[in-house]
Amino acid sequence: MQNFSAFALLRRAFGGHSSWQPQWRTPEPKASYDAIIVGAGGHGLGTAYYLAKEHGMRNIAVIERGWLGGGNTGRNTTIIRSNYLFDESAALYDHSVKLWETLSEELNYNVMYSARGVMMLAHTIHDIQVFKRHVHANRANGVDNEWLTAEQAKEFCPPLNISPNLRYPVLGAALQRRGGTARHDAVAWGYARGADDMGVDIIQNCEVTGIRRDASGAVMGVDTAKGFIGAKKVGVVAAGHTSVVMAMAGMRLPLESFPLQALVSEPVKPVFPCVVMSNTVHAYISQSDKGEFVIGAGTDAFVSYSQRGGLHIPSHTLDAICELFPMFRRMRMLRNWGGIVDTTPDRSPIISKTPVPGLYVNCGWGTGGFKATPGSANVFAHTMARDEPHPINAPFTLERFRDGVMIDEAAAAAVAH
Ligand code: FAD
Ligand code: PYC
């Protein structure tokens, strides 16, 4: 409670459902904690929340070099879905979708989860084959996904252009009706508030600059901009910069970091009822509750830590949007931005113990980790608390790259990332 202003207390008293964000007063770090999470994105804050709520660990700190939710959590296009191909992924992402369904009630904070349906367009025979394979695999796993003709796709999303004269005509679509969107900053703030209520320290403006190990090699704490902070366990959840942080403990990870961009239009009245993604012409779009079109672009083709990305990339995306939705041609774009995502060779995440006792890592979500926030945090907390993986994240180890047991979800983004 000590971290909240009078406004926040009032808002709590009246139910807490507001997108208004309290000013966070960062506490001074203690000399040591039972566990430290590096990175106050949704995954890190969620991990602290579940460590406290489900595993009774209260002496925890989340250490963030910037401000909470200022990384990819606050920069993404918020698409939520679980229509992944392989059994391991379906279990992980659907665990997350199920948590999304009740997250506002769980946190008493409106995360604005809206299951408005995610539709992936097919423009080629190859697209049709890939998406139908996903539909069948998903249904075999109890995950909803269905095939639509082009006419049914237009019925579901009236602004869609299904003219056969398009450069890449729409030949059909895969629709996951439970997919949708949520409010990204509310997720960060909801988990932060919940964790704070249970005694977790959230320490902003405090970069982790080193990971210290004792004579046996086990973790003993982190060096930070505010000095050394001791901890028996350290969980690294620093999307985009995981390799940099893990190198502090002497570990190399199979990760590459890329800028990924998004942009929003001026706000208009509600005209767009769902989420649409197209890999072939590369664009994805939804309409936020404020009325802005939220549009995602591609990654740069080369690795970089720049949070800008090439200007030609959003410009190609807008070409694609105008082709698919000609009625949006005169819309003006308000702002664009980038984030840094880190990607593994098989495009699946790593949620794992490491060879360093007491050090855990959650990374490699690439362009698709927002949807996974609750599920990932929930199983990572289990892994850290019990020093063994939850059955859902057991396949997502670091060792799979040594043993060749990949979970190849390269086709799963449904966008060319
Ligand atoms: P972050 O929110 O990035 O948090 C990591 C934190 O670690 C940051 O706040 C950072 O400052 C901190 N940190 C880094 N280094 C240090 C250090 N040394 N010391 C202390 N703190 C440190 N996913 C989807 O599922 N759907 C989408 O539609 C989607 N669209 C996207 C669009 C864009 C433009 C981008 C960039 C990403 C998109 N993603 C999407 C991916 C998604 O945003 C990420 O996978 C997810 O948000 C990662 O969450 P996180 O909590 O792990 O990381
Ligand atoms: O994973 O659905 C996704 C996604 C959409 C845009 C970026 N990632």
Within 6 A (CB) of ligand 2 lie: 77, 79, 81, 284, 296, 367-368, 413, 415
Going by pLDDT thresholds of 50, 70 and 90, the confidence category of residue 298 is confident
How far does the centroid of ligand 1 lie from the alpha carbon of residue 151, in Å? 36
- CATH 3.30.9.10 domain residues, the chain: 114-179+256-343
Question: Pocket of ligand 1, candidates 83, 93, 367: which has the most ligand atoms within 8 Å of its Cβ, to mutate?
Answer: 367
Q: Residue 3 pLDDT more than 80?
A: no
Q: Higher model confidence: residue 22 or residue 327?
A: 327
Greatest Cα-to-Cα distance within the chain, rounded to the nearest angstrom = 69
Which atom of ligand 2 is found nearest the CA of 368? 1
How far does the centroid of ligand 2 lie from the alpha carbon of residue 377, in Å? 18
Q: Residue 290 pLDDT more than 60?
A: yes
CB of 239 closer than 6 A to ligand 1? yes
- Helix, strand, or coil (residue 374): helix
- Tens digit of pLDDT for each residue in 354-375? 999 999 999 999 999 999 999 9
Joined together, the tokens standing for residue 5 give 């202003």
For the entire predicted model, the pTM comes to: 0.94
Going by pLDDT thresholds of 50, 70 and 90, the confidence category of residue 301 is confident
Which residue's CA is the nearest one to ligand 2's atom 3?
368
CB of 66 closer than 6 A to ligand 1? yes
The whole-number pLDDT of residue 306 equals 86
Q: Residue 167 pLDDT more than 80?
A: yes
Which atom of ligand 2 is found nearest the CA of 77? 6
State the average pLDDT over residues 72-82: 97
Class of domain 114-179+256-343 as given by CATH: alpha beta
For residue 261, the ligand closest to its alpha carbon is 1
The whole-number pLDDT of residue 24 equals 64
Taking 3-state DSSP, the helix, strand and coil percentages for the chain, each rounded to the nearest 5, stand at 30, 25, 45
What pairs with residue 3 in β-bridges?
Answer: none
Q: Do the beta carbons of residue 60 and residue 231 sit within 8 Å?
A: no
- Tens digit of pLDDT for each residue in 328-360? 999 999 999 999 999 999 999 999 999 999 999
How far does the centroid of ligand 1 lie from the alpha carbon of residue 339, in Å? 7
Q: Higher model confidence: residue 53 or residue 316?
A: 53
Compute the mean pLDDT over every residue in the chain, rounded to the nearest whole number: 92
- CATH 3.50.50.60 domain residues, the chain: 28-75+185-254+346-403
Joined together, the tokens standing for residue 270 give 């509600």
Nearest to 99 by CA among 200, 194, 174, 227: 194
Going by pLDDT thresholds of 50, 70 and 90, the confidence category of residue 78 is very high
Q: Residue 13 pLDDT more than 60?
A: no
For β-strands 32-38 and 60-63, DSSP reports them as parallel
For tokens 């060779």, name the residue.
Answer: 345
For tokens 């109890």, name the residue.
Answer: 142
CB of 262 closer than 6 A to ligand 1? yes
Q: Residue 413 pLDDT more than 80?
A: no
- Tens digit of pLDDT for each residue in 125-140? 999 999 999 999 999 9
Which CATH number does the domain 28-75+185-254+346-403 belong to among 3.40.50.720, 1.10.3210.10, 3.50.50.60, 3.40.50.11140?
Answer: 3.50.50.60
- Helix, strand, or coil (residue 293): strand
Phi then psi dihedrals of residue 286, to 5 deg: -150, 175
Joined together, the tokens standing for residue 76 give 């993404």
The whole-number pLDDT of residue 23 equals 59
As a whole number of angstroms, the distance between CA 367 and CA 411 comes to 12
Return the DSSP state at 180: B
